[in-house]
Chain A
Amino acid sequence: MNFGRQVAEFCRRDLLTERRAGEVISIVTPFGAVALMSFPLAFGIDSALISRVGPAVFWVVVFLFTMQIALRHSAAERPHQRAVIALLGVDPFARLMGRTLAAAVLILVFMAVLFPAMILFYSPDLPEAWPLALVPGVLAGIGLAQVGTLAAEITAGLRTRTTLAPLIVAPLAVPLLIAGSQALESLASGGSILPWTVLVVATDLALAVIGAAIARPLEEASL
Protein backbone atom coordinates (compact mmCIF):
# COMPACT_ATOMS: atom_id res chain seq x y z
CA MET A 1 0.00 0.00 0.00
CA ASN A 2 1.52 3.33 -1.03
CA PHE A 3 1.76 6.45 1.13
CA GLY A 4 -1.37 8.11 -0.27
CA ARG A 5 -3.49 4.99 0.30
CA GLN A 6 -2.23 4.70 3.87
CA VAL A 7 -3.17 8.35 4.56
CA ALA A 8 -6.62 7.82 3.01
CA GLU A 9 -7.22 4.62 5.01
CA PHE A 10 -6.39 6.27 8.35
CA CYS A 11 -8.58 9.25 7.51
CA ARG A 12 -11.44 6.94 6.47
CA ARG A 13 -11.08 4.85 9.63
CA ASP A 14 -11.22 7.91 11.94
CA LEU A 15 -14.22 9.34 10.10
CA LEU A 16 -16.05 5.99 10.21
CA THR A 17 -15.37 5.73 13.95
CA GLU A 18 -16.70 9.26 14.40
CA ARG A 19 -19.82 8.42 12.35
CA ARG A 20 -20.53 5.49 14.67
CA ALA A 21 -19.67 7.32 17.91
CA GLY A 22 -21.10 10.70 16.89
CA GLU A 23 -18.88 12.43 19.42
CA VAL A 24 -18.20 15.60 17.43
CA ILE A 25 -21.57 15.96 15.72
CA SER A 26 -23.86 15.11 18.60
CA ILE A 27 -21.82 16.28 21.62
CA VAL A 28 -19.01 18.74 20.82
CA THR A 29 -20.92 20.80 18.22
CA PRO A 30 -24.01 21.44 20.40
CA PHE A 31 -21.67 22.25 23.30
CA GLY A 32 -19.85 24.73 21.04
CA ALA A 33 -23.19 26.34 20.14
CA VAL A 34 -24.01 26.67 23.85
CA ALA A 35 -20.62 28.33 24.42
CA LEU A 36 -21.37 30.72 21.55
CA MET A 37 -24.71 31.58 23.18
CA SER A 38 -23.25 32.10 26.64
CA PHE A 39 -21.12 35.11 25.63
CA PRO A 40 -24.07 37.41 24.73
CA LEU A 41 -25.76 36.36 27.98
CA ALA A 42 -22.64 37.43 29.89
CA PHE A 43 -22.28 40.71 27.92
CA GLY A 44 -25.85 41.77 28.68
CA ILE A 45 -28.16 43.64 26.29
CA ASP A 46 -25.55 45.82 24.59
CA SER A 47 -26.42 44.70 21.03
CA ALA A 48 -23.79 46.98 19.40
CA LEU A 49 -21.05 45.35 21.48
CA ILE A 50 -22.40 41.84 20.81
CA SER A 51 -22.49 42.55 17.07
CA ARG A 52 -18.89 43.82 17.13
CA VAL A 53 -17.38 40.89 19.05
CA GLY A 54 -19.29 38.11 17.25
CA PRO A 55 -16.58 37.00 14.76
CA ALA A 56 -13.87 37.14 17.46
CA VAL A 57 -15.98 35.02 19.85
CA PHE A 58 -16.59 32.55 17.00
CA TRP A 59 -12.82 32.10 16.60
CA VAL A 60 -12.23 31.75 20.33
CA VAL A 61 -14.88 29.01 20.51
CA VAL A 62 -13.40 27.25 17.45
CA PHE A 63 -9.90 27.57 18.95
CA LEU A 64 -10.92 26.03 22.29
CA PHE A 65 -13.24 23.33 20.94
CA THR A 66 -10.67 22.20 18.38
CA MET A 67 -8.85 20.53 21.24
CA GLN A 68 -11.97 18.63 22.19
CA ILE A 69 -12.21 17.42 18.60
CA ALA A 70 -8.53 16.42 18.33
CA LEU A 71 -8.68 14.66 21.72
CA ARG A 72 -12.06 12.99 21.19
CA HIS A 73 -12.29 9.66 22.95
CA SER A 74 -13.32 7.81 19.80
CA ALA A 75 -10.00 8.77 18.14
CA ALA A 76 -7.80 7.51 20.99
CA GLU A 77 -5.89 4.35 20.06
CA ARG A 78 -5.14 1.74 22.69
CA PRO A 79 -1.52 0.58 23.18
CA HIS A 80 -2.12 -2.77 21.47
CA GLN A 81 -3.67 -1.02 18.43
CA ARG A 82 -0.62 1.24 18.15
CA ALA A 83 1.70 -1.75 18.49
CA VAL A 84 -0.07 -3.66 15.71
CA ILE A 85 0.03 -0.62 13.40
CA ALA A 86 3.76 -0.20 14.07
CA LEU A 87 4.46 -3.91 13.51
CA LEU A 88 2.60 -3.79 10.18
CA GLY A 89 5.21 -1.34 8.95
CA VAL A 90 2.80 1.53 8.39
CA ASP A 91 4.57 4.84 7.69
CA PRO A 92 4.18 6.89 10.94
CA PHE A 93 3.86 10.12 8.95
CA ALA A 94 1.07 8.60 6.85
CA ARG A 95 -0.73 7.68 10.07
CA LEU A 96 -0.24 11.21 11.45
CA MET A 97 -1.39 12.82 8.19
CA GLY A 98 -4.43 10.58 7.93
CA ARG A 99 -5.49 11.39 11.46
CA THR A 100 -4.85 15.11 10.86
CA LEU A 101 -7.00 15.04 7.71
CA ALA A 102 -9.86 13.40 9.60
CA ALA A 103 -9.57 15.97 12.40
CA ALA A 104 -9.47 18.77 9.79
CA VAL A 105 -12.70 17.51 8.18
CA LEU A 106 -14.42 17.40 11.58
CA ILE A 107 -13.15 20.85 12.56
CA LEU A 108 -14.36 22.33 9.25
CA VAL A 109 -17.79 20.73 9.80
CA PHE A 110 -17.81 22.21 13.33
CA MET A 111 -16.92 25.65 11.90
CA ALA A 112 -19.54 25.32 9.14
CA VAL A 113 -22.26 24.68 11.75
CA LEU A 114 -21.11 27.37 14.17
CA PHE A 115 -20.60 30.20 11.66
CA PRO A 116 -24.33 30.52 10.77
CA ALA A 117 -25.11 30.16 14.48
CA MET A 118 -22.77 33.08 15.20
CA ILE A 119 -24.50 35.21 12.52
CA LEU A 120 -27.85 34.31 14.08
CA PHE A 121 -26.87 35.08 17.69
CA TYR A 122 -24.62 38.10 17.13
CA SER A 123 -25.88 39.75 13.89
CA PRO A 124 -22.38 40.96 12.99
CA ASP A 125 -21.91 43.68 10.40
CA LEU A 126 -20.04 41.51 7.87
CA PRO A 127 -18.23 43.22 4.96
CA GLU A 128 -19.48 42.47 1.45
CA ALA A 129 -16.34 40.54 0.60
CA TRP A 130 -16.61 38.29 3.69
CA PRO A 131 -16.46 35.03 1.63
CA LEU A 132 -12.80 35.89 0.95
CA ALA A 133 -12.11 35.36 4.66
CA LEU A 134 -13.03 31.71 4.16
CA VAL A 135 -9.60 31.12 2.58
CA PRO A 136 -7.51 31.91 5.71
CA GLY A 137 -10.40 30.53 7.81
CA VAL A 138 -10.28 27.07 6.22
CA LEU A 139 -6.47 27.07 6.29
CA ALA A 140 -6.56 28.01 9.99
CA GLY A 141 -8.96 25.10 10.59
CA ILE A 142 -6.43 22.75 8.94
CA GLY A 143 -3.63 24.22 11.07
CA LEU A 144 -5.68 23.72 14.23
CA ALA A 145 -6.18 20.09 13.22
CA GLN A 146 -2.42 19.70 12.74
CA VAL A 147 -1.46 21.18 16.09
CA GLY A 148 -4.29 19.34 17.89
CA THR A 149 -3.31 15.98 16.41
CA LEU A 150 0.36 16.55 17.27
CA ALA A 151 -0.55 17.33 20.90
CA ALA A 152 -2.88 14.32 21.03
CA GLU A 153 -0.03 12.10 19.83
CA ILE A 154 2.51 13.53 22.28
CA THR A 155 0.14 12.91 25.19
CA ALA A 156 -1.26 9.55 23.94
CA GLY A 157 -1.86 7.11 26.78
CA LEU A 158 -1.08 9.58 29.57
CA ARG A 159 -3.40 9.91 32.58
CA THR A 160 -3.85 13.66 32.23
CA ARG A 161 -4.08 13.66 28.42
CA THR A 162 -7.31 15.61 28.08
CA THR A 163 -6.20 18.42 30.36
CA LEU A 164 -2.54 18.52 29.39
CA ALA A 165 -2.87 18.58 25.60
CA PRO A 166 -4.84 21.89 25.51
CA LEU A 167 -2.11 23.53 27.59
CA ILE A 168 0.41 22.52 24.92
CA VAL A 169 -1.86 23.29 21.96
CA ALA A 170 -3.27 26.67 22.95
CA PRO A 171 -0.06 28.76 22.91
CA LEU A 172 1.26 27.06 19.75
CA ALA A 173 -1.98 27.68 17.86
CA VAL A 174 -2.25 31.40 18.61
CA PRO A 175 -0.96 32.52 15.14
CA LEU A 176 -3.89 30.60 13.63
CA LEU A 177 -6.38 32.27 15.96
CA ILE A 178 -4.97 35.71 15.13
CA ALA A 179 -4.93 35.07 11.37
CA GLY A 180 -8.44 33.60 11.32
CA SER A 181 -10.04 36.42 13.29
CA GLN A 182 -8.02 39.32 11.86
CA ALA A 183 -8.75 38.39 8.22
CA LEU A 184 -12.39 39.38 8.69
CA GLU A 185 -11.40 42.52 10.63
CA SER A 186 -9.03 43.46 7.83
CA LEU A 187 -11.76 43.09 5.18
CA ALA A 188 -14.14 45.17 7.31
CA SER A 189 -11.62 48.03 7.41
CA GLY A 190 -10.99 47.86 3.64
CA GLY A 191 -7.71 45.97 3.97
CA SER A 192 -6.39 42.80 2.40
CA ILE A 193 -6.50 39.21 3.65
CA LEU A 194 -3.10 38.50 2.09
CA PRO A 195 -0.86 39.06 5.18
CA TRP A 196 -3.14 36.83 7.31
CA THR A 197 -3.28 34.17 4.60
CA VAL A 198 0.53 34.20 4.40
CA LEU A 199 0.76 33.88 8.20
CA VAL A 200 -1.62 30.92 8.30
CA VAL A 201 0.06 29.19 5.31
CA ALA A 202 3.50 29.64 6.92
CA THR A 203 2.18 28.18 10.21
CA ASP A 204 0.53 25.24 8.42
CA LEU A 205 3.74 24.50 6.49
CA ALA A 206 5.88 24.75 9.64
CA LEU A 207 3.53 22.34 11.44
CA ALA A 208 3.64 19.92 8.48
CA VAL A 209 7.47 19.96 8.51
CA ILE A 210 7.50 19.39 12.29
CA GLY A 211 5.02 16.53 11.87
CA ALA A 212 7.16 14.89 9.18
CA ALA A 213 10.28 15.26 11.31
CA ILE A 214 8.88 13.85 14.55
CA ALA A 215 6.33 11.28 13.33
CA ARG A 216 8.65 8.30 13.85
CA PRO A 217 10.04 9.37 17.27
CA LEU A 218 6.43 10.11 18.31
CA GLU A 219 5.41 6.57 17.41
CA GLU A 220 8.34 5.14 19.39
CA ALA A 221 7.52 7.34 22.40
CA SER A 222 3.88 6.29 22.52
CA LEU A 223 4.44 2.52 22.26
Chain B
Amino acid sequence: MSKPTPWLRVLQLLALVAVAVGLAMALRAPVDAFQGEYSRIMHVHVPTSWLAFLAFGITALGSIVWRIRRHRRWDRLASASAELGVLFTAMSLATGSLWGGAVWGTYWDWADPRMATTALMFFVYLGYLALRRTTDDPETAASRSSLLGIIAVVQVPLVYFSVNLFRSLHQTQSIRPDGATMPTEMLVAMLANLAALTVLYVALLATRMWVMRREEAVALEPAAGTGVVPPRLEEVGDA
Protein backbone atom coordinates (compact mmCIF):
# COMPACT_ATOMS: atom_id res chain seq x y z
CA MET B 1 0.00 0.00 0.00
CA SER B 2 1.57 3.29 -1.07
CA LYS B 3 1.64 6.19 1.37
CA PRO B 4 0.42 9.73 0.74
CA THR B 5 2.97 11.95 -0.98
CA PRO B 6 4.91 14.40 1.24
CA TRP B 7 3.08 17.40 -0.21
CA LEU B 8 -0.26 15.82 0.70
CA ARG B 9 0.98 15.35 4.28
CA VAL B 10 2.09 19.00 4.36
CA LEU B 11 -1.31 20.11 3.04
CA GLN B 12 -3.14 18.05 5.69
CA LEU B 13 -0.95 19.51 8.44
CA LEU B 14 -1.45 23.02 7.07
CA ALA B 15 -5.23 22.49 7.10
CA LEU B 16 -5.18 21.42 10.75
CA VAL B 17 -3.11 24.45 11.76
CA ALA B 18 -5.29 26.81 9.68
CA VAL B 19 -8.53 25.48 11.23
CA ALA B 20 -7.06 25.78 14.74
CA VAL B 21 -6.00 29.39 14.07
CA GLY B 22 -9.38 30.21 12.49
CA LEU B 23 -11.32 28.83 15.46
CA ALA B 24 -9.05 30.70 17.89
CA MET B 25 -9.75 33.94 15.99
CA ALA B 26 -13.49 33.21 16.06
CA LEU B 27 -13.34 32.77 19.83
CA ARG B 28 -11.37 36.01 20.28
CA ALA B 29 -13.48 38.13 17.90
CA PRO B 30 -15.95 40.65 19.41
CA VAL B 31 -19.54 39.45 19.74
CA ASP B 32 -22.69 41.05 18.36
CA ALA B 33 -24.48 43.26 20.90
CA PHE B 34 -27.86 41.60 20.32
CA GLN B 35 -26.87 37.98 19.59
CA GLY B 36 -24.11 37.71 22.22
CA GLU B 37 -21.93 34.57 22.14
CA TYR B 38 -24.22 32.96 19.56
CA SER B 39 -22.85 35.32 16.91
CA ARG B 40 -19.63 33.26 16.96
CA ILE B 41 -21.52 30.45 15.20
CA MET B 42 -21.54 32.71 12.13
CA HIS B 43 -17.75 32.36 11.81
CA VAL B 44 -18.33 28.70 10.89
CA HIS B 45 -21.82 28.91 9.35
CA VAL B 46 -21.03 31.50 6.65
CA PRO B 47 -17.72 29.92 5.44
CA THR B 48 -19.22 26.41 5.33
CA SER B 49 -22.12 27.74 3.22
CA TRP B 50 -19.72 29.41 0.79
CA LEU B 51 -17.56 26.29 0.61
CA ALA B 52 -20.61 24.16 -0.15
CA PHE B 53 -21.31 26.44 -3.15
CA LEU B 54 -17.66 26.23 -4.21
CA ALA B 55 -17.63 22.43 -3.85
CA PHE B 56 -20.76 21.99 -5.98
CA GLY B 57 -19.35 24.43 -8.55
CA ILE B 58 -16.18 22.32 -8.73
CA THR B 59 -18.37 19.20 -9.13
CA ALA B 60 -20.09 20.80 -12.14
CA LEU B 61 -16.73 21.90 -13.58
CA GLY B 62 -15.24 18.41 -13.13
CA SER B 63 -18.36 16.89 -14.73
CA ILE B 64 -18.17 19.19 -17.76
CA VAL B 65 -14.44 18.58 -18.28
CA TRP B 66 -14.95 14.81 -17.85
CA ARG B 67 -17.58 14.86 -20.61
CA ILE B 68 -15.08 16.61 -22.90
CA ARG B 69 -11.80 14.88 -21.98
CA ARG B 70 -13.03 11.51 -20.58
CA HIS B 71 -10.12 11.34 -18.14
CA ARG B 72 -10.71 9.61 -14.77
CA ARG B 73 -9.02 12.48 -12.92
CA TRP B 74 -11.93 14.85 -13.65
CA ASP B 75 -14.53 12.36 -12.49
CA ARG B 76 -12.61 11.83 -9.27
CA LEU B 77 -12.52 15.62 -8.79
CA ALA B 78 -16.31 15.92 -9.37
CA SER B 79 -17.14 13.03 -7.07
CA ALA B 80 -14.78 14.00 -4.23
CA SER B 81 -15.97 17.61 -4.37
CA ALA B 82 -19.63 16.52 -4.22
CA GLU B 83 -18.91 14.48 -1.07
CA LEU B 84 -17.30 17.51 0.55
CA GLY B 85 -20.11 19.75 -0.65
CA VAL B 86 -22.62 17.50 1.10
CA LEU B 87 -20.47 17.58 4.25
CA PHE B 88 -20.23 21.39 4.23
CA THR B 89 -23.95 21.76 3.46
CA ALA B 90 -24.77 19.52 6.44
CA MET B 91 -22.47 21.64 8.63
CA SER B 92 -24.09 24.82 7.31
CA LEU B 93 -27.60 23.49 8.01
CA ALA B 94 -26.63 22.28 11.48
CA THR B 95 -24.88 25.50 12.54
CA GLY B 96 -27.61 27.66 10.97
CA SER B 97 -30.28 25.69 12.80
CA LEU B 98 -28.45 26.00 16.14
CA TRP B 99 -28.04 29.74 15.61
CA GLY B 100 -31.70 30.10 14.57
CA GLY B 101 -32.85 28.21 17.67
CA ALA B 102 -30.95 30.63 19.90
CA VAL B 103 -31.56 33.93 18.06
CA TRP B 104 -34.85 33.49 16.17
CA GLY B 105 -36.36 31.14 18.74
CA THR B 106 -36.90 28.37 16.17
CA TYR B 107 -34.55 25.72 14.82
CA TRP B 108 -36.37 25.46 11.51
CA ASP B 109 -38.70 27.87 9.74
CA TRP B 110 -40.51 26.82 6.56
CA ALA B 111 -41.17 30.45 5.69
CA ASP B 112 -37.43 30.92 5.17
CA PRO B 113 -36.56 30.15 1.53
CA ARG B 114 -32.79 30.01 2.22
CA MET B 115 -33.25 27.11 4.68
CA ALA B 116 -35.69 25.25 2.45
CA THR B 117 -33.63 25.63 -0.74
CA THR B 118 -30.41 24.64 1.07
CA ALA B 119 -32.09 21.48 2.41
CA LEU B 120 -33.32 20.63 -1.10
CA MET B 121 -29.83 21.15 -2.52
CA PHE B 122 -28.49 18.80 0.18
CA PHE B 123 -30.92 16.05 -0.84
CA VAL B 124 -30.23 16.45 -4.58
CA TYR B 125 -26.51 15.91 -3.96
CA LEU B 126 -27.26 12.95 -1.69
CA GLY B 127 -29.04 11.58 -4.77
CA TYR B 128 -25.91 12.33 -6.82
CA LEU B 129 -23.77 10.31 -4.40
CA ALA B 130 -26.35 7.49 -4.33
CA LEU B 131 -26.37 7.43 -8.15
CA ARG B 132 -22.60 6.91 -8.16
CA ARG B 133 -22.90 3.94 -5.82
CA THR B 134 -25.45 2.05 -7.94
CA THR B 135 -22.86 0.62 -10.29
CA ASP B 136 -19.39 -0.88 -9.88
CA ASP B 137 -18.29 0.29 -13.32
CA PRO B 138 -16.47 3.64 -12.91
CA GLU B 139 -17.21 4.69 -16.51
CA THR B 140 -20.97 4.14 -16.07
CA ALA B 141 -20.94 5.97 -12.73
CA ALA B 142 -19.03 8.90 -14.26
CA SER B 143 -21.20 9.02 -17.36
CA ARG B 144 -24.50 9.25 -15.48
CA SER B 145 -23.44 11.28 -12.47
CA SER B 146 -21.72 13.90 -14.66
CA LEU B 147 -25.12 14.76 -16.16
CA LEU B 148 -26.70 15.16 -12.73
CA GLY B 149 -23.65 17.13 -11.55
CA ILE B 150 -24.23 19.63 -14.36
CA ILE B 151 -28.02 19.86 -13.85
CA ALA B 152 -27.88 20.13 -10.04
CA VAL B 153 -25.54 23.13 -9.95
CA VAL B 154 -28.43 25.28 -11.23
CA GLN B 155 -29.62 25.31 -7.61
CA VAL B 156 -26.53 27.10 -6.30
CA PRO B 157 -27.47 30.61 -7.55
CA LEU B 158 -31.08 29.94 -6.53
CA VAL B 159 -29.98 29.18 -2.94
CA TYR B 160 -27.57 32.14 -2.84
CA PHE B 161 -30.01 34.73 -4.16
CA SER B 162 -33.09 33.29 -2.38
CA VAL B 163 -32.71 35.87 0.40
CA ASN B 164 -32.90 38.67 -2.19
CA LEU B 165 -35.67 37.13 -4.29
CA PHE B 166 -38.12 36.24 -1.50
CA ARG B 167 -39.19 37.80 1.77
CA SER B 168 -37.73 35.75 4.60
CA LEU B 169 -36.42 35.65 8.15
CA HIS B 170 -32.90 35.19 6.84
CA GLN B 171 -30.83 38.36 6.58
CA THR B 172 -29.35 39.35 3.21
CA GLN B 173 -25.63 38.93 2.45
CA SER B 174 -23.38 40.59 5.08
CA ILE B 175 -20.41 40.90 2.73
CA ARG B 176 -21.22 42.71 -0.52
CA PRO B 177 -19.21 44.40 -3.29
CA ASP B 178 -19.94 47.82 -1.70
CA GLY B 179 -18.63 46.76 1.74
CA ALA B 180 -19.44 44.64 4.78
CA THR B 181 -22.22 45.22 7.30
CA MET B 182 -20.11 44.16 10.30
CA PRO B 183 -17.18 45.58 12.31
CA THR B 184 -13.71 45.01 10.85
CA GLU B 185 -12.60 42.66 13.70
CA MET B 186 -15.56 40.35 13.08
CA LEU B 187 -15.02 40.52 9.32
CA VAL B 188 -11.33 39.60 9.70
CA ALA B 189 -12.19 36.60 11.90
CA MET B 190 -14.82 35.44 9.40
CA LEU B 191 -12.48 35.79 6.44
CA ALA B 192 -9.74 33.97 8.40
CA ASN B 193 -12.16 31.09 8.96
CA LEU B 194 -13.12 31.15 5.29
CA ALA B 195 -9.43 30.87 4.35
CA ALA B 196 -8.85 28.09 6.92
CA LEU B 197 -11.85 26.05 5.82
CA THR B 198 -10.85 26.54 2.17
CA VAL B 199 -7.43 25.03 2.97
CA LEU B 200 -9.27 22.20 4.77
CA TYR B 201 -11.47 21.70 1.68
CA VAL B 202 -8.43 21.53 -0.61
CA ALA B 203 -6.65 19.10 1.75
CA LEU B 204 -9.71 16.84 2.07
CA LEU B 205 -10.29 17.00 -1.69
CA ALA B 206 -6.70 15.99 -2.45
CA THR B 207 -6.84 13.22 0.17
CA ARG B 208 -10.14 11.85 -1.13
CA MET B 209 -8.89 11.89 -4.72
CA TRP B 210 -5.74 10.05 -3.60
CA VAL B 211 -7.88 7.43 -1.81
CA MET B 212 -10.06 7.01 -4.92
CA ARG B 213 -6.99 6.52 -7.09
CA ARG B 214 -5.76 3.83 -4.67
CA GLU B 215 -9.18 2.14 -4.62
CA GLU B 216 -9.20 1.98 -8.41
CA ALA B 217 -5.65 0.56 -8.45
CA VAL B 218 -6.58 -2.08 -5.85
CA ALA B 219 -9.71 -3.03 -7.82
CA LEU B 220 -7.50 -3.82 -10.82
CA GLU B 221 -5.10 -6.02 -8.81
CA PRO B 222 -5.89 -9.75 -8.62
CA ALA B 223 -7.58 -10.55 -5.31
CA ALA B 224 -6.53 -13.45 -3.06
CA GLY B 225 -8.20 -16.66 -4.23
CA THR B 226 -8.88 -15.39 -7.77
CA GLY B 227 -6.93 -18.35 -9.22
CA VAL B 228 -8.94 -20.95 -7.28
CA VAL B 229 -11.55 -22.57 -9.53
CA PRO B 230 -14.33 -24.50 -7.77
CA PRO B 231 -14.85 -28.05 -9.11
CA ARG B 232 -17.78 -28.32 -11.52
CA LEU B 233 -20.59 -30.76 -10.81
CA GLU B 234 -19.85 -32.82 -13.96
CA GLU B 235 -16.20 -33.24 -12.87
CA VAL B 236 -17.27 -34.37 -9.38
CA GLY B 237 -19.71 -36.82 -10.96
CA ASP B 238 -17.05 -38.20 -13.34
CA ALA B 239 -14.67 -38.88 -10.45
Using CB atoms and an 8 Å cutoff, list the residues of chain A in contact with chain B.
150, 154-155, 158-161, 164, 167-168, 170-172, 174, 206, 210, 214, 217-218, 220-222
Contacts and interface: CB of A to CB of B under 8 A. Distances in A.
A164 B130 contact: yes
Given A206-B154, A210-B151, A217-B67, A168 B144 contact: no
B101 interface: no
Contacts of B154: 206, 210
Nearest to B148: A154
Given A214-B150, A217-B147, A155 B124 contact: no
B151 A158 contact: no
B147 A164 contact: no
Contact of B134 (A158, A214, A221): A158
B134 A160 contact: yes
A171 B148 CA distance: 13
Contacts of B120: 171, 174
Given A167-B123, A171-B123, A221 B131 contact: no
Contact of A221 (B121, B130, B144): B144
Contact of A214 (B127, B130, B151, B152): B151
B143 interface: yes
A182 B66 CA distance: 40
B67 A164 contact: no
What bracket does the count of chain B residues touching chain A fall in?
Answer: 20 to 34
A158 B134 CA distance: 7
Classify the secondary structure of A's interface with B.
helix
Interface in B25-53: none
A164 B134 contact: yes
A210 B130 CA distance: 21
Contacts of A167: 123, 126-127, 130
Contacts of B127: 164, 167-168, 171
B184 interface: no
A220 B130 contact: no
B173 interface: no
Interface string B132-154: 00110000100110111011101
A158 B148 CA distance: 15
Given A214-B147, A218-B147, A171 B121 contact: yes
Nearest to A173: B120
B147 A154 contact: yes
A168 B146 CA distance: 14
Contacts of B152: 172
Contact of B144 (A154, A172, A210): A154
Contact of A220 (B126, B128, B143): B143
Query: Which of B148, B151, B152 has the most C-beta atoms of chain A within 10 angstroms of its own C-beta?
Result: B151
CB-CB nearest 9 A-B residue pairs: A221-B143, A168-B127, A171-B120, A167-B127, A171-B123, A158-B134, A171-B124, A160-B134, A221-B144
A214 to B, nearest CB: 5
Given A206-B154, A214-B147, A221-B140, A154 B124 contact: no
Nearest to A161: B134
A220 B143 CA distance: 8
A178 B34 CA distance: 35
A94 B123 CA distance: 30
Nearest to B135: A158
A155 B140 CA distance: 11
B134 A168 contact: no
B140 A164 contact: no
B147 A155 contact: no
28 contacts: A150-B151, A154-B148, A155-B131, A155-B144, A158-B134, A158-B135, A159-B134, A159-B135, A160-B130, A161-B134, A164-B130, A164-B131, A167-B123, A168-B124, A168-B127, A168-B148, A172-B124, A172-B152, A174-B120, A210-B154, A214-B151, A217-B143, A217-B146, A220-B143, A221-B143, A221-B144, A221-B147, A222-B144
B8 to A, nearest CB: 32
A206 B152 CA distance: 12
Nearest to B120: A171
A170 B124 CA distance: 8
Contacts of B140: 221
B147 to A, nearest CB: 5
A155 B134 contact: yes
